[in-house]
Amino acid sequence: MRKKIPYGEQNFERVIMQNYYYIDRTQYIEKLELLNEKNIVFLRPRKFGKTLFLDTLSKYYDINYAEKFEKLFKDLYIGKNPTPLKNSYYILKMNFSGIQTENKEKLINSFKNNVISSLDDFNNRYKTKLKIEKEYTEPADIIRAFLTDAKDILNKPIYLLIDEYDHFANELLSFNLELFKDSVTKHGFVRKFYEEIKKGTETIIERLFMTGVSPIMLDSLTSGFNITKNKTIDIKFNEMLGFKEEEVKELLEYYDIYSEELLKEMQENYNGYIFNINAKEKVYNPDMVFYFITEYFSEKRPPEKIIDDNIMSDYKKVQNLFSLGELLGVKIEKENQKELTEKEKQEAKESPKKIIGKLLNEILLTGRTILPELTTMFNPGKRIEIKDIKSLLFYLGIMTFEKEGLRTYLKIPNYSMKKIFSEYFTEYLEERLTEYIDTDEIENAIITILEDGKIEPFAKEIENLLSKMDNRIFMGLDEKYIKAIMYSYLILTPYAMVKMEYPVENGYIDIAMFKRYEEVPYEAIIEVKYIKQKEYTEEKLKRKIKEAKEQIEKYKKSYELNSKNETMKKFIIVFVGKEAKYVEEVKEVNTVNKRDK
């Protein structure tokens, strides 16, 4: 019987016992145990398999699972190579997702109830009656009483597993900075709670493994909780979570759906993550891989939505963190020198929103941004710098490492993250328009390109959007910015893969649209030109048109486009200021078919 697809499964015992497909990661149990450090922090983006791995640790080390060890682990690496500490611990599990953050009272009560629930679960699983002082107000007092009792009663140590340690903090930081500071820093109740955990590691807690997405709380907890070692970017654990290329290929072959085309689409959509700058192996987002396969079985073709709605909702919450710089103020950093130039001093005076906008635009246009140093701890008491915002993009999984010479960059790892990033950019843009725009009309215009082979409605919609841009935003407008705007809307269509600065034999196409499904009638390449309003002349317009046609002629000679002659539309759009002055479908070099206003 073919194994079931473990999409969304987070319970290791259920995955093994109910015949789900499992990609073995248990060799990392041995690697973690061989470390000198016993208290580990390990961060990964959303839906990257953290909870399942924590549950695997819990079943491996739990004294209650000694009799089930053979059934669960016999076919896995760790079952064939067991460590001395297997089934040696009481497991205390905590998960801090779902904490209510509306106000301080709800936050404390929700956190407290979460702790009590975890301790109740411990007592139930081990048939113990350790003290749970539910009437105490402070979570720190509750965990102190519990651990004090455990020290005196338990005959074996505790392995503490904490999942989503930062979940509520990330939410707080995006909309209630003062409550974050009050709760996490200085004498906050969260910090006091972790101080008691630290005391517990001196007695009954022998090992600790803590996961989350970002290091946003680590600095705030440090003085009271300076016992953990952050192994997030340790090269030895680069592939501990996530799937390698050959593993995805084996998956597709196992389910009899392998083809080079399908593997290529999955690679483009979900691969590309590395968590150490010197790592050679890139990994796929595992949740998205299983989502894709599940949807493929259902639809018999790649899903229209390449991003799972469950993941998309998580990333939409992440978007709030872009306001972090706006809340705290952003300082422009000099990347290789201590002194700022006069120009940089002037930039430092610009509004944080504008600086964040520049960062979004830079990343969208180039696909990457330089990273002088990854921030490993955030201090909300200080001004957040540009490198901190960039680092958050890394931790959240929207960007990953890229090395070029001696420089380290962050780049968008795959197409799904480009779509998410484009949504951030379009929403950022739309918030700053002087009037509302109907994005449904833009979507219809995009479909018109692919269905009818006509680009005029889309050009008109972009012109409409530009006309509603605040002039202060418009001052920095150029050809690249307009391409970024067009690309950000075009990439949102599920019916085509949209590329910007797409490389072919004879150059780089401004924007290319390649269909994802056979029934889509047309594909397109778009050459974009721009003339400032005050610099416009008829002669300059003719030169731009001629230049665009010559470029398209060069691109047409490339094999990739030549093989798509019947379906590939070729367009030129020349903007003059905010106006789409000239729109043409290029059929032959001398054919003119324009909208000249």
Q: pTM for the full model?
A: 0.89
Question: Does residue 332 surpass a pLDDT of 50?
Answer: no
259 and 219 share a domain? no
Q: Is 246 left (phi over 0), alpha (psi -120 to 50) or beta?
A: alpha
Spell out the residues 6+ positions from residue 590 whose beta carbon is closer than 8 angstroms to its own: none
* 280 and 400 inside one domain: yes
* Domain identity same for 175 and 201: yes
Averaged confidence pLDDT in the chain: 88
Closest alpha carbon to 323 in 361, 355, 347, 353: 353
Q: Which of 206, 237, 268 is the last residue of a domain?
A: 237
* Residue 324 forms part of a structural domain: yes
6: in domain? no
176-190, 292-306, 516-530: which has the minimum mean pLDDT?
A: 176-190
54/83 same-domain check:
yes
Distance CA 144, CA 116 (A): 12
Residue 342's pLDDT is what?
Answer: 63
**Within 154-304, where are the H helices?**
167-175, 177-184, 189-201, 218-221, 245-254, 260-270, 286-299
Same domain, 213 and 261: no
**Domain membership flag for residue 432:** no
- 58 shares a domain with 181: yes
| In the predicted structure, residue 324 carries a pLDDT above the cut 60 | no
For residue 278, what is the DSSP state? T
Question: Residue 580 is encoded by which pair of tokens?
Answer: 């789409």
pLDDT digits (tens, 9 = 90+) for 67-121: 999 999 999 999 999 999 999 999 999 999 989 998 999 999 999 999 999 999 9
* 108 and 252 housed in the same domain: no
Q: Is the pLDDT score of 177 beyond 60?
A: yes
Instruction: Work out the pLDDT band at 171, boundaries 50, 70, 90.
Output: confident
Considering the domain architecture, whether residues 68 and 192 belong to the same structural domain is answered as yes
Q: What is the mean pLDDT of residues 24-29?
A: 98
Q: Is the pLDDT of residue 595 over 90?
A: no
pLDDT of res. 361: 78
Domain CATH number, residue 158 = 3.40.50
Last residue of a domain, one of 237, 260, 281: 237
Question: In this structure, are 483 and 406 located in the same domain?
Answer: no
Cβ atoms of 160 and 207 within 8 Å: the answer is yes
Residue 369 in domain: yes
Looking at the fold, whether 215 and 290 belong to one and the same domain comes out as: no
| pLDDT one-digit tens code per residue, 194-252 | 999 999 999 999 999 999 998 888 877 766 677 889 999 999 999 999 999 999 999 99
Q: Is the same domain home to 144 and 261?
A: no
Instruction: Tell me, yes or no, whether 74 and 193 share the same domain.
Output: yes
CA–CA gap between residue 327 and residue 113 (Å, rounded): 30
Q: What angle do CA 147, 152, 158 make, to 5 degrees?
A: 50
Domain boundary among 221, 237, 253: 237
Q: What is the pLDDT of residues 335-391, one digit of tens each?
A: 444 455 666 555 554 555 667 777 887 888 888 999 989 998 877 666 677 888 889
CB within 8 Å of 64: residues ≥ 6 apart: 125, 126
Please indicate, yes or no, if residue 315 is contained in any of the structural domains.
Answer: yes
Query: Domains in the chain: how many in total?
Result: 3
Cα-only R_g, the chain: 27
Q: Domain containing 21: what range?
A: 12-237
pLDDT given for residue 223 in this prediction:
63
